[in-house]
Amino acid sequence: MGYDPREHHRRSVRLAGYDYAAAAAHFVTVCTTDRAPVSGDVVDGVVRLSEQGEVAWGVWCKIPEHFPHADMDAFVVMPNHVHGIIVIGAAPGSVGATPESVGATHASPLPAADASRPSADPRGPAPGSLGAIVGSFKAATTRRINLMRQTPGALLWQRSYHEHIIRDEDGLARVRRYIEDNPLRWATDRDNPMARRP
């Protein structure tokens, strides 16, 4: 059976028509492949990061060095996922310029020019967009962790990620609390493969 674009396509979970490079705050969740707990453990409501978790923590913190228009707000590295708030361009509800377009990310090169491809068909996420930032984070952590574990080419993260656009200060406060309390809820968290179910 060959490839049929009418059958073999991934439905986007992104908001149709939304500019993911525009100034906004986003609540992002990135999960490991098969939700494997490679980033550490939670003991008595406190995350204890493994070496791989320390890598993820460090790469997340350095995102603004590679994307100067992005600020990091609350975030947590959990055993098998990362929750974080990425603010592009300006804080929620404030007036800010659209972020500058940046070229290559620190983790992936720009695609080679191809005269056979129409210019209206770009590959990958728009430069400086939320997708470019998350993709760069995933690529950088995967590369570093695979070097550490000597597992070239191994998958670390699930293919996509979950995001929610934060619309106002109340929403921002709720998401910050959720992130802060995430380790305390780990024993019953649906992302915890060992969770106690009610």
Task: Give domain status of residue 119, yes or no.
Answer: no
| Count of domains observed in the chain | 1
Task: Give domain status of residue 160, yes or no.
Answer: yes
Task: Give domain status of residue 82, yes or no.
Answer: yes
Burial of 91 (0-12, 13-18, 19+ CB in 10 A): middle
pLDDT of residue 1: 52
Task: Give domain status of residue 106, yes or no.
Answer: no
pLDDT of residue 12: 43
Task: Give domain status of residue 165, yes or no.
Answer: yes
132 φ, ψ to 5°? -65, -40
Looking at residue 149, which CATH number applies to its domain?
3.30.70.1290
Q: Tell me if the pTM is above 0.85.
A: no
* pLDDT tens digits for range 131-165: 999 999 999 999 999 999 999 999 999 999 999 99
pLDDT-based confidence at 122, cuts 50/70/90? Answer: low
Helix (H) or strand (E) holding 152: none
Helix pair 51-61, 130-149: axis angle to 10 deg: 150
Task: Give domain status of residue 46, yes or no.
Answer: yes
Domain of residue 70, residue span: 24-92+126-179
Q: Which candidate, 68, 24, 32, places its Cα nearest to that of 166?
A: 24
Helix (H) or strand (E) holding 70: strand 70-77
Task: Give domain status of residue 83, yes or no.
Answer: yes
Task: Give domain status of residue 137, yes or no.
Answer: yes
